């Protein structure tokens, strides 16, 4: 599971690790019962202190995405994919709302933003990454909600 922490990010390293694991579980790259790398191995790959990885693993376990098995390692739980998808959808939608609000506050035109989003969604659809009409409709409602802000 190759991953590198971005030392220039505003997001703390342990949170970056949590989000990376959540993404992999949410999209099915890690499935229930899959073992994730040991703290030591992950720390070496991500170029961080093992304590940072340990904190991320504790956060994932507290969320119910993973579970530690004494002497065996850390594994994705049966409920992990559902929890990971819900959490990442919540986080990304919150970030999207903040970005839309900031863009509107900076004077961007809502229609122009919808056009950009529609192009991105269409591109994602062509690549098999979603981008369906439901996403566009949801986006329109978020952009409209931000217009009143």
Write the pLDDT tens digit of every residue in 96-140.
999 999 999 999 999 999 999 999 999 876 555 444 444 444 444
Measure the CA–CA gap between 146 and 69, rounded to whole angstroms: 45
Name the residue range of residue 57's domain: 13-81
Q: What is the DSSP string of 73-86?
A: EEEE-TTHHHHHHH
Per-residue pLDDT of 38-68, as tens digits, reads: 999 999 999 999 999 999 999 999 999 999 9
| 1 belongs to a structural domain | no
| 4 belongs to a structural domain | no
Tally of domains in the chain: 2
Q: What is the pTM of this model?
A: 0.73
């Amino acid at each position: 599971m190759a991953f590198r922490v971005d030392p220039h990010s505003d997001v703390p390293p342990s949170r970056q690790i949590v989000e990376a694991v959540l993404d992999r579980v949410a999209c099915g790259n890690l499935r229930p019962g899959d073992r994730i790398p040991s703290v030591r191995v992950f720390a070496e790959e991500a170029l961080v202190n093992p304590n940072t990885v340990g904190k991320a693993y504790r956060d994932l376990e507290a969320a119910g995405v993973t579970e530690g098995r004494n002497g065996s390692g850390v594994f994705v739980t049966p409920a992990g994919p559902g929890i990971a998808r819900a959490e990442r959808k919540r986080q990304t939608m919150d970030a999207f709302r903040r970005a839309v609000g900031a863009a509107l506050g900076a004077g961007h035109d809502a229609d122009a933003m919808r056009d950009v989003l529609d192009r991105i969604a269409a591109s994602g659809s062509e690549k098999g990454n979603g981008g369906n009409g439901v996403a566009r409709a949801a986006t329109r409602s978020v952009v409209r909600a931000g217009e009143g802000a």
